[in-house]
Structure 1
């Protein structure tokens, strides 16, 4: 077995520690008691410090445990599911869910009622949280899942120092953040607890199929920051030597249901000791305005947003204070990285690229912030992470040759929620199958192709199987296949459908698009078009041969007729 590891030493996660003690009460994290951890971007007076957050977490945890029995039977069993816009209260609810002994799960704000209902049922959620704009669909999902309305709690963070959770049934606030009783979270005494107790449930399509719940343990959540932020160690040390200490500040604009929203906005402010400014939702003009107002030092985003920054004449001095710029969730080319860097840090800040997955609690490789890679790879392997590169027969390939990348380490998830078959199929000898084809060369990792079916639209996951199931439910569609095609104008993949009509029936491209729009979230729309064909290529076992369809795209960009 050929295993590759980081040149940096492994990180020792001893003695055993729980996730919340790691954040609030350990030497691991740089945040001070008076650090404003989370701030509303449109109202900087609406903030919470680390010290205030600790007390709020304990009081909310008490309510979750004593009023809703979260964690009463055992830790890491009861799911609290949130559909929330960005605000400084949502990360506190994330911590409090875990403090009560529960599991936090984020749902996409773009979900239809049907999509939200499916996740609520799959997670067997005990409490549904939502911000006001998602109240109606959350209530409808609760009714379809037989969840009492007193377990639907509406998040209200509009009043500084008086954040509320309002019961949908009684219309009353269930919290007393000022002087309510507190629950002390469980402190771990054994490493087994770190490994075995789940703290977070995020949904991913893995390598194939419909979205599945990824179970992230306390160890996964703890390891994420020290492992992934190791790329900043030399940069931060150099700044200190130069008398220009690094201070972490960033603008939160990616969803809390995404691993980037959890890792960059909920974990890293504690670990790196700084502030997250929360946008309610992403808007380009507001995003760049917040950069001019707060002058953050760090920004992680996805290629389509970096493309907007590179191309927009509106961007002038907005990113002059940015010292660290990271991209992830989908590949970025060297050309775009070079172009966008001209607008960052007065032209002195270079892009850094990460590669990761929800199943790896974020990233597995990344470019060091103090180094410049002219090839713009996805960087070196993180400490404590092990990678393998295998062929279609699971045999190790030679160094420098392409193979599916397998990963092991403390950041690799426990498996899929209630999906033992999917968990079994996604692991090989303890290594998670990423579904990405990569090359290891000169100590750097290059992702060159995708074996998995998953489509990444602006960093959001689109499962072809979900789109296909929706398409074939149309009465005039006999069969369908969906692949991702690259849209260079948006620097992202977009879904394209190949459709077989029912014999003797007619259906137009617009009708197909409208049908999908009625049933699925906005990021799952058929922006790559609809192609009508006579037959979907399939294997003898009935599996769609997507490689053949991708060859059609190379031969004829729009269709294979």
Structure 2
């Protein structure tokens, strides 16, 4: 994993500012400084908390934190100690934190100050001792701290006198592929969130092949005597693969700087983009939609050379509208496709190509693609089907869940759950076979909402689907409920009291006599999606 910190393939120089605060660029680290802090964190985690003591890839460290340039360094430090990084959403309730701590079997918890209260409550419920909670403090430049939670608030980094530990070099492919580096939670193709095990090989390989186009672009610019400098605004959470690959690893590999926002704020996002003259930016469709629609955006993205959207496909017309506001209208925004299980992007468009076809790009190097029908038979080129992939970026499987792992793979290929087709060397997405709802880039599992709703004493049955919302510029959850003596507001308030903000029923609540299901008991969501059309048709009879 540490090709980013010490490798001939790493473009960052020793004095390269790789991670810094967007609101105070003096509060950052160079490549050389990052390496030393990583080694200090590794020493403390190993010698005080026994992380990695029994070998690498076994001890999970769970972190939930606001964004800062210290967070990616903590991420590296966990792996350097031999631990496994598991990011948890900052939007999580105590109950949601409890579930991830238990599922991940976390040995150590890390958070920023504003999430300490929830983390402490969750730790207590999971019987994790208070002295195994560390609090990130990066408020003072060059004096970053990991504080012991509770009464002492001692800096554990200083308590060991700044001692450092070199990480274990994984030098053969077997170790790289077998050693877990990250445990990120995704709903996969169905069901409740599952822990996706990503190996060191997954992270390294994906970073190299996903940024291959960038490496070629940078080399060409250097030959032409006009070097390209990678600058980006880091604003996506480290609980998701995009935050890790795009903003934690890429600045090392590309030799540039990530300017970290504590949390996403549109006005600050566009202002920082102008202030730091960003040259590369990946974000999610709802944010690009804001850029397209906001009258506030004028010359904020004039310096951009590369812009990309991920997490969900966008229509070609919207892509064109966004592109008009980027790079003085001279660049064209591209789209990428991937999942947590594929360690992020598996398609991309070459940085020198203007693709106006509406594709999500071509398959990246070392990735294999299959497209199959409902009988798991390969379709002909150009035909629509479910897309399956294999390659060095595809995950090890699901944590302690062999049945889910088995269901997600077919002959060594991962079932993405996405439907599309392959034409002229490009991939086109048509629909999602998954039931997963993505609200502004955040994942919402219908099964989780359904389980909660059916725990309500007045609700007999429930189903949740995603519906497109013009108001939110995103897919939102809508509930169909079989109940008596309960109002829609009560149902929505019940969800609000128990789940985090992005999982709310923004699509509303509709009361029905029964939930349509198959003979095997599976919810027929397609029938629910067709209800508005059926009702309108009946009204015309």
* TM-score under structure 2 length normalisation: 0.97
Q: Post-superposition shift, 1:399?
A: 1.0
Question: Shift of the alpha carbon at 1:142?
Answer: 0.4
Secondary structure, in 3 states, of the residue corresponding to 1:117?
A: helix
Give CA-to-partner distance per residue, 1:308-342, whole Å, 9 cap, x none.
11111111111110111110001111111111111
Q: Tell me if 1:176 matches 2:158.
A: yes
CA distance in 1 between counterparts of 2:415 and 2:490 reads 37
Alignment of 1:349-360 (within 5 A): 349-360=331-342
Where does 1:33-112 land on structure 2 (aligned, <5 Å)?
Answer: 33-112=14-93
Task: Give the corresponding residue for 1:472.
Answer: 454
* CA–CA separation in structure 2 for the residues paired with 1:292 and 1:25: 31
1:25 & 1:137 partners in 2: Cα distance?
37
The whole-number CA distance in structure 1 between the counterparts of 2:106 and 2:399 is 12
Do the aligned residues in 1 keep the contact of 2:66 with 2:263 (CA within 8 Å)?
yes
Contact residue 78 and residue 102 of structure 1 kept, 8 A: yes
Kindly report which structure 2 residues correspond to 1:201-240, keeping only aligned pairs within 5 A, or say none. Answer: 201-240=183-222
Does 2:387 correspond to 1:408? no
Equivalents in 1 of 2:532, 2:105: separation in Å?
A: 40
**How far apart are residue 250 of structure 1 and its match?**
0.5
Map of 2:326 onto structure 1: 344
- Distance, in Å, in 1 between the alignment partners of 2:291 and 2:48 is 47
Of residues 493, 498, 510, the one that matches 1:531 is 510
Counterpart of 1:125 in 2: which secondary structure?
coil
Partner of 2:526: 547
Q: Are the counterparts in 2 of residues 484 and 496 from structure 1 also a CA contact under 8 Å?
A: yes
Pick aligned residue for 2:491 from 509, 512, 518: 512
Provide structure 1 residue ranges, at least 5 long, that are not aligned to the other structure.
1-18
> Equivalent of 1:191, from 142, 156, 173?
173
Please say if 1:382 is aligned against 2:364.
yes
Structure possessing the higher relative contact order (Cα contacts under 8 Å, 6 or more residues apart): 1
Measured after TM superposition, the shift of residue 232 of structure 1 is: 2.7
Find out whether 1:299 has 2:278 as its counterpart: no
1:386-397 to structure 2, matched below 5 A, reads 386-397=368-379
Cα distance in 1 for partners of 2:81, 2:31 equals 18
Deviation for aligned residue 1:237: 3.6
Q: How much is the aligned-residue C-alpha RMSD, in angstroms?
A: 1.6
Aligned partner of residue 196 in structure 2, secondary structure: strand
Which of 131, 147, 154 is matched with 1:150 structurally? 131
Q: Does 1:264 align with 2:243?
A: no
Q: CA offset at residue 178 of structure 1?
A: 10
Closer/same/farther in 2, CA of residues 549 and 305 from structure 1, 3 Å limit: same
Does the 8 A contact of 2:446 with 2:465 survive in 1? yes
Following TM superposition, by how much is the alpha carbon of 1:553 offset from its aligned partner in structure 2, in angstroms? 4.7
The alpha-carbon deviation at position 529 of structure 1 amounts to 1.3
**1:421-474 deviation digits (Å, cap 9, x = unpaired):** 100110011100000001111111111011111111111111000010111111
CA–CA separation in structure 2 for the residues paired with 1:323 and 1:455: 31
* Count of residues paired in the alignment: 538
> 1:162-212, CA deviations, whole angstroms, 9 ceiling, x for partnerless residues?
111111143211113995211111112321000000011110000000101
CA distance in 1 between counterparts of 2:24 and 2:233 reads 13
1:352 touches 1:368 (CA, 8 Å); kept in 2? Answer: no
**Deviation by residue 1:146-167 (Cα, 9 ceiling, x = unmatched):** 0010001111000111111111
Distance 1:318 1:163 in 2: 31
Equivalents in 2 of 1:188, 1:226: separation in Å?
A: 17
In the TM superposition, structure 1's runs of 4+ consecutive aligned residues that sit over 6 Å from their partners are none
Matches within 5 A, 1:449-460: 449-460=431-442
How far 1:229 sits from its partner (Å)? Answer: 1.4
- The Cα shift of 1:490 comes to 3.3
